Amino acid sequence: MSRADLSEAGIYWQSRMGNNADGIGGNCHRYDVVTDGARGSLVVDYGIKIHNGGDSYDCSFPSPEGLFAKRGQATSADAPGALLLTHSHEDHLGAIRHAIDMGYRVPPIYCSPFTAELVRKSLTTAGIVEAERKPEIHSVGPGETVRLAGADITFVPVDHLPGASALVLRTKEAAIFHSGDYKFDATLPLGDRADPDLLRRIGKQGIDMVLSDSTAAGDPRPKVTEKEIEANLQRLVAAQEGRAVVAGVLGTQLDRVVSLGRAARASGRTLVITGHSLVANIKAAERSGHSLEKAIGAPIVEARDARHLNADKALVVTTGAFAQPSAGLTRTADQLPGALYIDRHTTIIIPQRAIPPVAEMHRDMVDKLDRMGATVITAERAEEQGHGVIHQSGHAIAADTKLLYTLLKPKQVVSPMHGAPGQIEANGDIARSLGIKALTLPGNGTVVRVNQQGVEIVGREAPARIGAIETAEIKQLPRARPGEGRRTHPASVYRYDRLDETGDTVLSRNVDAFDGPIRAARAGAASRSR
């Protein structure tokens, strides 16, 4: 943060990406803590922004320059000493593997046990298996406080997905509440619930600034809880007697899988799961103490073990709610080999609304499934057809936003983040309506100082981004543990370009070669092809 004066004590916040008017994704924040004459730094979240069609990159993310040190090089004095993760969505942690691919050393990671499981999975999938490339990962329990960079940092459970946490950063000069993605829904079946009493106590200790999720802040509708969604799904599934039922979710949407599982159980159907990421996430949840089977009250069966089941006695849950290219439902729509069989006796339920970047792909997929003769019930159609609401945003709507501010009573300022411009404005308006000042979009790169003198913008720099393109070469990488079945496993290889802060201009192409086994695998492939 070279362009800001960090001499005064306080906490300095800077968004590196994900906080401008260019859409959601690539969330990353840098905090510099100046207290007792010392300075410590840390990073909160390091995610990707998914690009869909239209542009040439598969994803982009905040450049690791100025955040992490290169492997084999000395760590500079102002390099952050820790990476804290609020939760396990790709737009909050998906860039970790890329920074390591690019040869950077990621500092020790602090996150909830479930998030830790998914970070480990993401690294293994990317072929990052050697000890010297893997970052340390520390699990932090709900409500626990760790001392990092000179600040006390408390992980506060919020309702979003299992292990989702808000963070309170506190020194004697300042306290910031960083919401991460959150909403209030006491009926979510998995994970620890947001506790209004705890939030009130945190507020009483004093909060100077709240940074809060704006994604759905402009939604004025009354809240629909997961319990109500479960009841609607239960009625919908019960009405499908004699038919096959398939549901398409997001691989991380495990609370909805529980609702589907309970609906299946009520209709005497067995919940069958298929899709690599869904199965892996459910296993990761089990390992970190969030048992879906316990929450459903019935066993979950993997598709390969369900061949004996009649189609009308199963509810098959697969991935593809966003029509992602490799997801189960997308593969079915494209009639790829090994995809689920569907016909006019199949009902497909998609209890998720498509977000704008995937809307077109989603429409395409639903079209194809319609043409195959299946009855497709999307979240929109469910409401039109009188089945009720079967999806609710995972983000705070207006009522939740108001509740958060009422509980925390921030002393000085709210800074809306994470959302489209209209939503960010709506979030600010809610704060103002409660008599709390709100900053108007201090975009990426702006450095904001918080201390007892107030909240002040003290500088700005233009943090670069990296655009990643999968080069479509699948490399066989060595297994983490020898003797684990096949000796190698496939991993995608990316090319990285350095982009300006808007992502529109390429500053340099192919900025960093891969290191470690990926380079070795490339050299091997090249020599074989000669």
Q: Residue 83 and residue 43: Cα distance in Å, rounded? A: 5
Based on the shown chain and the rule CB under 5 A, indicate whether residue 185 belongs to the binding site for Zn ion. no
- In sequence order, the β-bridge partners of residue 155 are 167
Q: Residue 530 and residue 527: Cα distance in Å, rounded? A: 5
Q: In the complex, what is the shortest distance from the CB of residue 123 to Zn ion, in angstroms, rounded to a whole number?
A: 19
Q: In the complex, what is the shortest distance from the CB of residue 252 to Zn ion, in angstroms, rounded to a whole number?
A: 8
Q: Residue 332 and residue 371: Cα distance in Å, rounded? A: 12
Q: Which amino acid is at 257?
A: V
Q: In the complex, what is the shortest distance from the CB of residue 378 to Zn ion, in angstroms, rounded to a whole number?
A: 21
Q: Residue 187 and residue 228: Cα distance in Å, rounded? A: 9
Q: Is 229 helix (H, G, I), strand (E, B) or coil?
A: helix
Q: In the complex, what is the shortest distance from the CB of residue 178 to Zn ion, in angstroms, rounded to a whole number?
A: 14
Binding mask 33-72 for Zn ion (x = CB under 5 A): ----------------------------------------
Judged by CB under 5 A, the chain residues 73 through 112 that form the site for Zn ion are 89
Q: Is residue 75 within 8 Å of residue 116, measured between CB atoms? A: no
For the stretch 452-461, contacts whose Cβ atoms lie closer than 8 Å and that sit 24 or more positions apart, written own/partner, are 452/173, 452/174, 453/8, 453/10, 454/412, 455/208, 455/209, 455/412, 455/413, 458/4, 458/5, 458/6, 458/12, 459/1, 459/3, 459/4, 459/5, 460/3, 460/4, 461/1, 461/2, 461/3, 461/4
Q: Is residue 443 within 8 Å of residue 20, measured between CB atoms? A: yes
Cβ distance to Zn ion smaller for residue 101 or 159: 159
Q: In the complex, what is the shortest distance from the CB of residue 87 to Zn ion, in angstroms, rounded to a whole number?
A: 6
Q: Is residue 468 within 8 Å of residue 60, measured between CB atoms? A: yes
Judged by CB under 5 A, the chain residues 266 through 295 that form the site for Zn ion are none
Cβ distance to Zn ion smaller for residue 185 or 497: 185
Cβ distance to Zn ion smaller for residue 216 or 282: 216
Nearest to 19 by CA among 463, 449, 442, 450: 442
Q: In the complex, what is the shortest distance from the CB of residue 121 to Zn ion, in angstroms, rounded to a whole number?
A: 17
Cβ distance to Zn ion smaller for residue 88 or 446: 88
Cβ distance to Zn ion smaller for residue 173 or 181: 181
Q: In the complex, what is the shortest distance from the CB of residue 174 to Zn ion, in angstroms, rounded to a whole number?
A: 26
Q: In the complex, what is the shortest distance from the CB of residue 89 to Zn ion, in angstroms, rounded to a whole number?
A: 4
Binding mask 144-183 for Zn ion (x = CB under 5 A): -------------------------------------x--
Residues in contact with Zn ion, counted by CB under 5 A, come to a total of 2
Q: Residue 6 and residue 77: Cα distance in Å, rounded? A: 14
DSSP 275-322: -HHHHHHHHHHHHTT--HHHHHTS-EEEGGG-TTS-GGGEEEEEE-TT
Q: Is residue 254 within 8 Å of residue 321, measured between CB atoms? A: no
Q: In the complex, what is the shortest distance from the CB of residue 268 to Zn ion, in angstroms, rounded to a whole number?
A: 34
Cβ distance to Zn ion smaller for residue 89 or 265: 89
Cβ distance to Zn ion smaller for residue 51 or 89: 89
Cβ distance to Zn ion smaller for residue 264 or 417: 417
Cβ distance to Zn ion smaller for residue 210 or 245: 210
Cα diameter, the chain: 71
Residues that bind Zn ion (CB under 5 A): 89, 181
